[in-house]
Structure 1
Amino acid sequence: MGHLDHAAFGWLTPVLSYVMACIGAALGLRCTVRALAATGRSRRNWLITAASAIGTGIWTMHFVAMLGFSVSGTEIRYNVPLTILSLIVAMIVVGAGVFAVGYGRDRGRALALGGLTTGLGVASMHYLGMAALRLHGDVDYDPLLVGLSVVIAVVAATAALWAGLNIKSPIAVAVASLVMGGAVSSMHYTGMMAVSVQVAPSGTVLPGATVMQFIFPLAVGLGSYLFLTSAFVALSPTAGEREASASAQRPVESVAR
């Protein structure tokens, strides 16, 4: 058995990955709130932004956490196509969940469907990301813990979508984001606890990219995307603010005439 270390850099990777998950969640919830207040193309665009934010946040959380993952007795590489596929899956499935909620007529059913879809998406993203691992030896999973991690993912996703539907105030969004970040992180580490590795030392070169060659630059790039989008969303006025500024300008125009 190889000894698994989930935090090779100490507290840095768990804390950083939690922060990434929270930022993605906060941005996603903020965009969902905006989407529900909008119509037509504007609603669709806000929902796409929400899905890409949550998807990116979850994916970045997973792989920032994986930066701290090491196994004694073997190097670790990542299969590039599978890693990229896990990102696409995260975005598409979260998108399906968010759209189910954004356009669902029956709130309860939309929430159940959206939560289940998004939760399964988060879980499949996690295990696809794990399937991209290349090491000397065999990786096994404890089915009970895998099942638990999927349940956590579905509950977390449902709670997050419920928050997106019912929460309007920025403070409540912040609290919901911290809770969702915690849920995504606990799903990740529960999934990681399910892993055991039977190391078979070998001199052959592993296929794939190292964490620093591939995962790290991609995580930094996506992290930057999240920060920039957050800034854009934070600075763009809400529908209420736009109405207020429009009505404030009207009296001035009539006086000018």
Structure 2
Amino acid sequence: MFDGHDPFLVALSVAIAILGGYTGFSLTARIRDAAGVNRRVLLSGAAVFLAVGIWTMHFVGVMAAPIPADAVYLVLPTIVSFLICALVVGVSLFFVSIGEPSPRRIIPSAVLLGTGIASMHYVGIHGLAGQFGITHDPLMVLLSVAIAMLAAYGGLRIFLARQDGLRLAASAIAFGVAVSGMHYTAMLGMHFVPLTAEAHHHVAAGLAASQQVLSIVVAVLCFVVAAGFLLSLVPDPRRQAEAVADPAANMEPAIAEVAPSAAPEGPAVLPNSVRLMPAPLGGIGQPPRLAASRLPVEGANGTHFIDAGEVRSLRADAHYTRIHDGTRERMCPWSISEAEAQLDPSLFIRVHRSHIVAISHVCFVGKEGDGAIIELDGPAPHRVPVSRAKIAEVKARLGLVRRHA
């Protein structure tokens, strides 16, 4: 069955899967820094592009195969195969885009993603109708599903390890291998069986599309995937604006290991003390307000409080924030702006429009894309992005500014 495939269409199918993977993962990489409606839009866009890439790759691969000349495509199973794929991919991306990456999140997401790829394939294949039947080798079915899950796991691991350009490209290639490997392994175990005269009346009926019509649809979707890939390469205008706003941040951020106990240059930092903070503008004559020594977090049975010294980072989540204490994330009723106003600026620094970190808990800083990345210590270390406009300030607080004679 595998012999006789059109090599050019096979190559095109793999390329489409990789381009769709890159576009989807590049949108997923922005979800953590977005809030509210933007998160949902990015998640939906990522799921759609990944699903379109999978679905388009599948049908380009089908057109590359030597299928019977009288075959037509039933519209309902074909549409259902896409909807299954979009739903399963969306759920798996949701799991990996929230919280911190861990095996408990990545493994179920990879299993779900691999299952979605396989489900789409077999539902779509059985949308083929004609004077034939389709049989599958059970061993090849199991092998194809295993390939999809393992390659999906590898792609997610690469992507979540570090979301820069090189890792993003590697994860997209792994994703393309997951889809293509599953598809062509399944095709290798698929066989067309001519129907007997008695079985002709069992041929599936319904609204159908010819191979020419499907070719037009697939060509349009190939263009959509390629256009989405090219748009994903366009620089983010907000990052460019940040760079213009702070020309001093153009200096290349040095990669360095910072001891968790290392204190930044300047006045000594007392993590557990309560500090006086200047009164806001217009508040002349008012007593200075106290920096918050404890932060509220929501639990199943009410509101709890944790010491500010235990906080590693805060991440914007719509009108609220999520506080990471080095072990897990918990919901805080403050907005990111309110948290910045409440916290002691000598202990905390806003490194991104959506992130605040405790500077004394930084244990690693490195370059990532046109910004930087820092890692916070704790039983479950986690990384936080640094915008380009904040690199110089972060390096100064960590004592990494180069000194010249």
TM-score (norm: length of structure 2): 0.55
The whole-number CA distance in structure 2 between the counterparts of 1:27 and 1:104 is 22
Alignment-derived partner of residue 61 in structure 1: 57
How far apart are 1:46 and its partner, in Å?
1.8
The structure-2 alpha-carbon separation of the partners of 1:130 and 1:49, relative to structure 1 and needing over 3 Å to count, comes to: same
The whole-number CA distance in structure 1 between the counterparts of 2:237 and 2:82 is 29
How far apart are 1:116 and its partner, in Å?
1.2
The structure-2 alpha-carbon separation of the partners of 1:206 and 1:42, relative to structure 1 and needing over 3 Å to count, comes to: closer
Match of 2:15 among 19, 24, 31: 19
The whole-number CA distance in structure 2 between the counterparts of 1:172 and 1:165 is 9
The structure-2 alpha-carbon separation of the partners of 1:37 and 1:159, relative to structure 1 and needing over 3 Å to count, comes to: farther
In structure 1, runs of 5+ residues without a counterpart are: 250-257
SS at match of 1:177: helix
Structure (1/2) with the larger helix percentage: 1
Preserved contact between residue 53 and residue 225 of structure 2 (Cα < 8 Å): yes
The whole-number CA distance in structure 2 between the counterparts of 1:117 and 1:85 is 17
The whole-number CA distance in structure 2 between the counterparts of 1:33 and 1:240 is 14
How far apart are 1:175 and its partner, in Å?
2.7
The whole-number CA distance in structure 2 between the counterparts of 1:32 and 1:155 is 20
**Equivalent AA in structure 2 for residue 180 of structure 1:** F
The whole-number CA distance in structure 1 between the counterparts of 2:159 and 2:146 is 20
How far apart are 1:101 and its partner, in Å?
0.8
Larger displacement relative to structure 2 (152-161 or 186-195): 152-161
SS at match of 1:36: coil
1:141-175, CA deviations, whole angstroms, 9 ceiling, x for partnerless residues? 11111011111111122222223322322122223
SS at match of 1:228: helix
- Which segments of structure 1 move beyond 6 Å, counting only runs of 4 or more? 201-206
1:129 aligns with 2:124: yes
Alignment-derived partner of residue 80 in structure 2: 85
How far apart are 1:65 and its partner, in Å?
0.8
1:116 aligns with 2:83: no
**Equivalent AA in structure 2 for residue 23 of structure 1:** L
Alignment-derived partner of residue 209 in structure 1: 209
The whole-number CA distance in structure 2 between the counterparts of 1:216 and 1:126 is 17
Alignment-derived partner of residue 176 in structure 1: 171
1:117-152, CA deviations, whole angstroms, 9 ceiling, x for partnerless residues? 111111100001111011212211111110111111
The whole-number CA distance in structure 1 between the counterparts of 2:189 and 2:166 is 35
Alignment-derived partner of residue 31 in structure 1: 27
The whole-number CA distance in structure 1 between the counterparts of 2:131 and 2:209 is 14
The whole-number CA distance in structure 1 between the counterparts of 2:55 and 2:64 is 15
Match of 2:46 among 41, 47, 50: 50
Alignment-derived partner of residue 142 in structure 1: 137
The whole-number CA distance in structure 2 between the counterparts of 1:149 and 1:246 is 51
Alignment-derived partner of residue 227 in structure 1: 226
The whole-number CA distance in structure 2 between the counterparts of 1:143 and 1:194 is 8
Preserved contact between residue 29 and residue 163 of structure 1 (Cα < 8 Å): no
The whole-number CA distance in structure 1 between the counterparts of 2:124 and 2:3 is 15
Preserved contact between residue 154 and residue 174 of structure 2 (Cα < 8 Å): no
1:214-253, CA deviations, whole angstroms, 9 ceiling, x for partnerless residues? x21221222222222223332250764443233349xxxx
1:30-57, CA deviations, whole angstroms, 9 ceiling, x for partnerless residues? 1111222333322222222111111110
**Equivalent AA in structure 2 for residue 98 of structure 1:** L
Preserved contact between residue 31 and residue 46 of structure 1 (Cα < 8 Å): yes
Aligned residues: 243
The whole-number CA distance in structure 1 between the counterparts of 2:221 and 2:164 is 27
Alignment-derived partner of residue 254 in structure 1: none
1:181-239, CA deviations, whole angstroms, 9 ceiling, x for partnerless residues? 123111100111111222137799985222112x2122122222222222333225076
Preserved contact between residue 100 and residue 114 of structure 1 (Cα < 8 Å): yes
Structure (1/2) with the larger strand percentage: 2
The structure-2 alpha-carbon separation of the partners of 1:5 and 1:164, relative to structure 1 and needing over 3 Å to count, comes to: closer
1:82-134, CA deviations, whole angstroms, 9 ceiling, x for partnerless residues? 10111111111100100111124563212112111111111100001111011
For CA contacts below 8 A with separation 6 or more, give which structure has more relative contact order. 1
Identity of paired residues, percent? 30
The structure-2 alpha-carbon separation of the partners of 1:26 and 1:106, relative to structure 1 and needing over 3 Å to count, comes to: closer
How far apart are 1:13 and its partner, in Å?
1.0
Match of 1:154 among 127, 130, 149: 149
In structure 2, runs of 5+ residues without a counterpart are: 249-405
The whole-number CA distance in structure 2 between the counterparts of 1:95 and 1:107 is 18
The whole-number CA distance in structure 1 between the counterparts of 2:44 and 2:182 is 24
Match of 1:95 among 87, 90, 93: 90
Greater radius of gyration (CA): 2
Q: CA RMSD in A?
A: 2.5
Q: 1:242-253 alignment to 2 at 5 Å?
A: 242-248=241-247
**Equivalent AA in structure 2 for residue 47 of structure 1:** L
